């Protein structure tokens, strides 16, 4: 749940952006940044995969992610949600590592 809105857990930033768009103004620049980094999806989590992004693409994605985070962190409700989500994520990781 984000700011009272349900959403599906996943890696789709566009989907999450659509959930919060009615609640918060998202800059056009951040829309473009989200579209840019979304194209890499989860494949950046794995090394030496076919079609890995270039070093320049990776640097650009990191820079754009930082821009997104700055904008989202400036919105207090989103910042609070991100803190809560981080706590939940850490609990899930601990639970999953204990059940192995």
Q: pLDDT per residue over 48-100, tens digit each? A: 666 777 889 889 989 998 998 888 878 777 777 777 888 888 888 888 876 55
Are 64 and 36 within 8 A, CB to CB? yes
**What token pair was written down for 54?**
């270039």
In angstroms, the CA 13 to CA 39 distance is 10
Q: What is the pLDDT of residues 22-34, one digit of tens each?
A: 777 888 898 888 8
Q: What's the pLDDT score for residue 17? A: 77
8 falls within a domain:
no
Rounded distance, CA 77 to CA 25, Å?
12
Please check whether residue 1 lies inside any domain of the structure: no
Residue 24, helix vs strand vs coil: coil
The confidence score (pLDDT) of residue 94 equals 87
- The end-to-end CA distance of the chain, in Å, is 27
| Segments forming the whole domain that contains residue 83 | 13-98
pLDDT value of residue 63: 93
Within a domain: residue 52? yes
Task: Please check whether residue 6 lies inside any domain of the structure.
Answer: no
Does a structural domain hold residue 7?
no
Number of domains in the chain: 1
């Amino acid at each position: 749940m984000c700011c009272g809105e349900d959403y599906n857990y996943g890696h789709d930033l566009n989907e999450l952006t659509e959930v919060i768009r009615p609640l918060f103004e998202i800059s056009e620049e951040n829309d473009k940044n989200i579209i840019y980094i979304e194209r890499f999806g989860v494949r950046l989590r794995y090394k030496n995969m076919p079609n890995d992004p270039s070093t320049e693409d990776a640097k650009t994605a990191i820079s754009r992610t930082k821009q997104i985070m700055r904008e989202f962190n400036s919105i207090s409700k989103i910042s609070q949600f991100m803190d809560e989500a981080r706590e939940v994520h850490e609990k899930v990781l601990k639970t999953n590592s204990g059940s192995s």
